[in-house]
Amino acid sequence: MNIKNVEILAYTVPLKEPVKAYAAGLMTGFGMVIVKITDENGNIGQGYTTMHSNQELAIARIIEDTFKPILLNNDSSLIEFLWKQMWKQTHYAGRGGPVSFAIAAVDAALWDLMGQRVKQPLWKLLGGYSSKVKVYAGNIDLNFSIEKILDNASRNIEQGYKAIKMRLGRETLKEDLQRVEAVRNHIGDSMELMADANEAWRVDQALKASNELANFNLTWLEEPITPDDYRGYAYLKNNGATPLASGENLHTLKEFQELFYYNGVDFPEPDYTTCGGFTPFMKIAKLAEAYNLPVMSHGAHDVHIQLLAACPNAAYMEVHAFGIEDYISNPLKIENGFGVASDLPGIGFEFDLGKLKQYKTN
Ligand SMILES: [Mg+2]
């Protein structure tokens, strides 16, 4: 089925309240690019990627100028071929970075189109393992008071979560430890607790934090250091007392291969929106399986449920604060601590473009 039209829509979507993480700082909204691909029979596939605010136009432009000519009049079912053409055309200024975000939106739309055409949900098209994946609340709360964090944790428990993540990277480690202790005491020992430092520390600081956090039985410590210091991750994994998660800031399959090769992670956390789409996400998940590692996801939970439900090594899915639930037809359903993959075709939902129109930037 040849591709007849490619539409590229860019937005800045406001958050309900400003949130803060160490590396990104305070965030009031996020950028989003939706790609709509129509084939010659009128089937439509939709894909999207998100990024920090004010970067969506650059990513939309890569798709418009470089990828659209590759896609038009080509067979939409040759996803690996089209992915490789997009990679090759941008390799000089790409091999990661914004190009990976741009390819991701197109690749997602191609997979959704495939699912729409054969009328199958992606989690079954991609292999089909289990419709249920354990979820955790990926709170972004570095700027919140302890009281507000505890209130939010209570709300997460009411919503059915069995696992909660909080942010680290305050002025001192002592302050971080006090906040973790308060949350652990509040939620009890039966809830799982994760912590995300968003690259706040040097390796020596991270090692100290990893060992002191062991008192609070964290499932993992996420991104304690800069994401591309693979040897640093290996050092922390070998010498620290808390398991490590990382992956949202790795933008290629090769970067994950390096992290695994150095034995630098316990909980790999790829994000299809940042690593080039479903095509590399599934390769990363299978590479993790080959290394006897589980696979998680970061962000984009309404879509990642379809990918993780296809993976035998899926362990957790993050339900992220950059939510699109107000703008789609079928938001993620959570039952008893598990996300449930929809059996609707493709990614399982459509965007409400009318509702998003007010935030359009292109
Ligand atoms: Mg994170």
Percentage of residues in the chain having pLDDT higher than 70: 100
* Yes or no: domain 3-119+353-359 corresponds to CATH 3.30.390.10: yes
User: pTM score, two decimals?
Assistant: 0.97
> Ligand 1: distance of its center to the CA of 221 in Å?
10
Provide the 10 A C-beta neighbour count for residue 23.
13
Classify 257 as helix, strand or coil: helix
Provide the 10 A C-beta neighbour count for residue 40.
12
**What's the pLDDT score for residue 32?**
98
Position 1 pLDDT exceeds 90: no
**What's the pLDDT score for residue 162?**
96
Q: Residue 110 CA to chain centroid, in angstroms?
A: 19
> Ligand 1: distance of its center to the CA of 298 in Å?
7
**What's the pLDDT score for residue 294?**
98
Average pLDDT over residues 327-338: 96
Average pLDDT over residues 269-292: 98
Which residue do the tokens 């994000």 mark? Answer: 271
* Domain 3-119+353-359 shares a fold with domain 123-340: no
Are 319 and 298 in contact by the 8 Å Cβ rule? The answer is no
Are 310 and 283 in contact by the 8 Å Cβ rule? The answer is no
> Ligand 1: distance of its center to the CA of 281 in Å?
17
> Ligand 1: distance of its center to the CA of 25 in Å?
13
> Ligand 1: distance of its center to the CA of 248 in Å?
6
Cβ neighbors of 98 (< 8 A, separation 6 or more) are 51, 55, 58, 59, 62
Task: Give which of 302, 223, 288, 234 is closest to 263, Cα–Cα.
Answer: 234
Name the band, by pLDDT with cuts 50, 70 and 90, for residue 321: confident
> Ligand 1: distance of its center to the CA of 10 in Å?
24
CATH number for the domain whose boundaries are 123-340: 3.20.20.120
Q: Residue 233 CA to chain centroid, in angstroms?
A: 20
Which residue do the tokens 């029979």 mark? Answer: 41
> Ligand 1: distance of its center to the CA of 76 in Å?
33
> Ligand 1: distance of its center to the CA of 26 in Å?
15
Angle at 143 between CA 245 and CA 158, to 5 degrees: 70
- Residues less than 5 Å from ion ligand 1, measured at CB: 196, 222
> Ligand 1: distance of its center to the CA of 140 in Å?
9
Classify 59 as helix, strand or coil: helix
Tell me the Cα Rg of the chain.
20
Q: What would the pLDDT profile of 55-101 be if each residue is shown by its tens digit?
A: 999 999 999 999 999 999 999 999 999 999 999 999 999 999 999 99
Phi-psi region of 192 (alpha: psi -120 to 50; beta: other; left: phi over 0): beta
Q: How far apart are CA 301 and CA 317, in angstroms?
A: 7
> Ligand 1: distance of its center to the CA of 337 in Å?
20
Residue spans of the domains in the chain: they are 3-119+353-359, 123-340
Q: Helix (H) and strand (E) counts for the chain?
A: 14, 12
> Ligand 1: distance of its center to the CA of 297 in Å?
10
DSSP 223-248: --S-TT-HHHHHHHHHH-SS-EEE-T
Q: What would the pLDDT profile of 249-261 be if each residue is shown by its tens digit?
A: 999 999 999 999 9
Q: How far apart are CA 137 and CA 298, in angstroms?
A: 11
**What's the pLDDT score for residue 134?**
98
Are 316 and 106 in contact by the 8 Å Cβ rule? The answer is no
> Ligand 1: distance of its center to the CA of 109 in Å?
25
Cβ neighbors of 178 (< 8 A, separation 6 or more) are 146
Q: How far apart are CA 30 and CA 305, in angstroms?
A: 21
Q: How far apart are CA 108 and CA 303, in angstroms?
A: 9
Q: What would the pLDDT profile of 34-53 be if each residue is shown by its tens digit?
A: 999 999 999 999 999 999 99
Average pLDDT over residues 326-341: 96
Q: What would the pLDDT profile of 174-190 be if each residue is shown by its tens digit?
A: 999 999 999 999 999 99
Q: What would the pLDDT profile of 221-275 be if each residue is shown by its tens digit?
A: 999 999 999 999 999 999 999 999 999 999 999 999 999 999 999 999 999 999 9
Q: How far apart are CA 9 and CA 362, in angstroms?
A: 7
